[in-house]
Structure 1
Amino acid sequence: MNKIKKSKIKTSFRLYSKNKSDLQSSVFDLISGDRETKQTKGLAYVFSLYPDFLLKFLEIKSVQSQIEKTIEREYDSKEIYKIEVSAEKMTKSKKRADIVLKIHFKKKHSLAIIIEAKSIKSGNINNIGEQISFYMKNGEIEDLKNIPIIGLILTKYKHNISQVINLEWSFIINFILSFCKKKPEHKILKDYFNFITNIDNDMIFFEKEVLSIPAGRSFSKVEKHDIYDCPNNKNYSYKKPLYVTFRKTKSVMEFLYKIEEIIVLNPTDENEIIALNNSTLSTGIKNRILNYINEPSYNKQEGIEKRFYVLSKEKIELSQKPKPAGHIQKHTYFSLTDILTKKVLIPESQK
């Protein structure tokens, strides 16, 4: 009997919707639901498919620290013999928890991590803290009764919600990218990376290269503390940039700032300030935010959540003093190449 020779034919898979498709579709395009649902279901799937990736996730500093605090001893992955990964797990009140990790240790005890996520594109968290706290109530998820539960939120920006782990999608994206470089054989994990970022190169995730904001009367505080803040609402729904610049007199831009952190908190909420102080952010960043909001002239609005952009102190001087073509009142976006090489800039939206 003749053996079937291994074919050298190259194949491709494209999933069409409304007569359009990506150049290369993946298994993640087959998942039902909206973008947010697909992202979390996909993450649960790669957790279950690659145990080494899941164990590496549990070694993330803030995650491991919370595990050790909960089990009251040093974490050792060798003690784990089984992890159940569930997506969209139904709760007692008929809600669905995004991802549930039920971790079984050899010493006959268990631990659960409930992950609630919001879309990479979404800055609106809609009381995600209350939502995950509700899921963590004893008995809300039937098979998690009487076992310790850790809450984790995964959002576009870093939030300081007490009693839960706070991670950004950008951190997870770079975590996946770093892991894929070490484990290139994990091709479905790389497919997931491409799926959630829509990019296929080795760069830090961002949506736009340069965000340009009109400099207001409070710009002196930005220069003093290298921090910019704005309300965390749809009127200030900036796409996540790599750099930010400010338009001053006659719309001239003088410096380009690299963004170190984007943090969302309510500066009038004492619990959130406590959570900020207890967070894994560097002491320098914490102090800069606190000094910024404690300025006598800072406008603290009761109950208003703010988004803080922590800027690098090593700013890039724009020697050609570029400005946009035409009059622009609101924020806009420019390419990095244009802002570094041209004097008159055309916004990305007009190209």
Structure 2
Amino acid sequence: MKTTFRLYNRLHSSIFDLIDGNGETQQTKGLALVLSKCEVVLKAFFKLGSIKDKVGEIEWAIVDETLINAELTSTTSGKQFRADIVIRLYAGGKPYKMIMIEAKSLNKNTSVETASAQIENYLQPNTFKEFGAFNAENIYGFTLTKYPTYVAARQIGTIVWNDVIKLFYHMDKSKNELLNDYFQFITKINGAMYFYEKEVFSIPTADWSNEAINKFHVYECPNSGRYQIKQKPLYLTFRKSGGGEMEKLYKIEEIIILSFSKDYQTFLEDNRYSETTRQRVRNYVDYMQQNNNWGEVLPSDEKQVLVLSEQTIDLPHKPKPRLNNSFRAYYKLSDLLNWEKKILDQNPKEEA
């Protein structure tokens, strides 16, 4: 007999729809629940490269207890703190390893500096009495964010939501109903919103920026305000100054959140990024300085650095908006590939 649970009048529901809070809270609490109930998922989670590079290989044979908290709270000096996810591993009844995760919604970007500063504060002695039993060298903090970033601190790292989704996608969910329900919940495969819900993001660019894109396949912009790429598109296209013609579609290979003045040199030595990626960013920085767009002191504000694929799709009919201006907007892929649509409606699908 088949039995189906439905919350209210929804066609697809699961235990995760019962969690109080907004989408970000539900995603975080749901992840903690899955990790606590599914040992195979927990072990696979610790094998994610971003975690393993910091924490090292876990000797699961000696781990005899795991304690996972969602929204662990602490009050210190009259201030209340809340850690999104805390995972404590014990071996032989003694503290072994501990990681704390500050999670942000997979559907929006955020300031990594803010999240990292929050973690550093949480990892200070006496902020959480629960951490006191662990040796400082066995305590690690992670941001869980939409895009990868660079964090120089030895015991703080970054996990990317997309890596978690890919991990769960490749696991056998047919025999794990809880994992399957969570995967469906965070990707909304059975709902109205998709993780990759946007097709082409159109960005206005100056001549020097177009030159850099064509030469180095790198584009950067502030990681704040209207400049943020809030929903990951399938393709990017750039509107040239003047009429706003769009000549090519680019796939995004990497989105890196970087503060050049603080993290650039360390980024160049980070072998987690390919030599090709690092060389492209290096060439871009050299170009910006040689053309006096940047001075000797690199920018201190947080940037979104987009490394683009060298494989592009040409738009020989060069579509353009009816009136070009500084808007950043999403277009349908079918509209841009339609040779008969050389002039696009001024009202794009959604302005960023």
Which residue does 2:142 correspond to in 1? 152
The separation in 2 between residues aligned to 1:107 and 1:343, in whole angstroms, is: 70
Of 67, 83, 98, which residue of structure 1 is paired with 2:66?
Answer: 83
Q: Are 1:283 and 2:271 counterparts?
A: no
Structure 1 position 241, deviation (Å): 1.2
Query: Does the aligned pair in 2 maintain the 1:160–1:279 contact within 8 Å?
Result: no
Distance 2:221 2:313 in 1: 22
Quick one: distance in 1 between partners of 2:161 and 2:25?
14
Q: CA RMSD in A?
A: 2.4
CA separation of 1:220/1:277 partners in 2, compared to 1, >3 Å: closer, same or farther?
A: same
Measure how far apart 1:328 and its partner are. Answer: 5.0
**Alpha-carbon deviation of 1:95?**
0.5
Q: 2:308 matched to 1:308?
A: no
Pairing partner for 1:299 from 281, 285, 294: 294
8 Å contact from structure 2 (residues 16, 30) kept in 1: yes
- Give the secondary-structure state (helix, strand or coil) at the position aligned to 2:316: coil
Which deviates more, 121-130 or 254-263? Answer: 121-130
Structure 1's 279 and 120: CA in aligned 2 closer, same or farther, altered over 3 A?
A: farther
1:191 is matched with 181
8 A contact 1:99–1:116 mirrored in 2? yes
CA drift at 1:303: 2.6
Query: What SS class does the counterpart of residue 127 from structure 1 fall into?
Result: helix
Q: Partner residue of 1:42?
A: 30
**Paired residues, what number?**
328
- The structure-2 alpha-carbon separation of the partners of 1:46 and 1:191, relative to structure 1 and needing over 3 Å to count, comes to same
Q: CA deviation at 1:191?
A: 2.0
Amino acid of the residue matched to residue 180 of structure 2? K
**1:205 positional shift:** 3.9
Deviation at 1:61, TM superposition (A): 1.9
CA pair 319-79 structure 1, distance change in 2 beyond 3 A: farther
Give distance in 2, aligned partners of 1:191 and 1:78.
29
Contact map agreement 1:92 1:139 (CA 8 A) in 2 = no
Alpha-carbon separation, structure 2, partners of 1:183 and 1:190: 5
Q: Deviations over 1:192-247 (max 9, x none)?
A: 2222222349xx94241110111213211111110111111112132221210112
Match of 1:124 among 110, 133, 136: 110
Using structure 2 for the length normalisation, give the TM-score: 0.85
Q: How does 1:106-145 map to 2 (within 5 A)?
A: 106=92, 108-125=94-111, 127-145=114-132
In structure 1, the partner of 2:219 is 228
How far apart, CA to CA, are the structure 2 residues paired with 1:174 and 1:25? 22
Change (3 A) 1:149 1:272: farther
Are the equivalent residues in 2 in contact too, given 1:322–1:343 (CA < 8 A)? Answer: no
Distance across 1 between alignment mates of 2:82 and 2:286: 40
Partners of 1:337 and 1:172 in 2: how far apart?
30
Letter in 2 for 1:195: F
Tell me: CA distance 1:279–1:168, structure 2 relative to 1, closer, same or farther (3 Å).
farther
Alignment-derived partner of residue 99 in structure 1: 85
Per-residue deviation at 1:305? Answer: 1.2
Q: Provide the C-alpha distance between the structure 2 equivalents of 1:279 and 1:149, rounded to a whole number of angstroms.
A: 23
State whether structure 2 residue 228 is matched by structure 1 residue 245. Answer: no
The alpha-carbon deviation at position 59 of structure 1 amounts to 0.8
Could you tell me how far apart the structure 2 residues matched to 1:162 and 1:64 are? 16
Offset of residue 106 of structure 1: 4.2
Q: Which residue of 1 aligns with 2:169?
A: 177
Counterpart residue identity of residue 228, structure 1? Y
After superposition, what is the alpha-carbon deviation per residue over 1:48-91, rounded to whole angstroms, capped at 9, x for unaligned? 121100100101122122222xxxxx543333222111010113
Distance of 1:13 and 1:46 partners within structure 2: 20
Alpha-carbon separation, structure 2, partners of 1:342 and 1:43: 45
Q: Compute the TM-score of the two structures, normalised by the length of structure 1.
A: 0.85
* Paired letter, 1:215: T
Unmatched runs of 5 consecutive residues or more in structure 1: 1-6, 16-20, 69-73
Q: CA deviation at 1:100?
A: 0.3
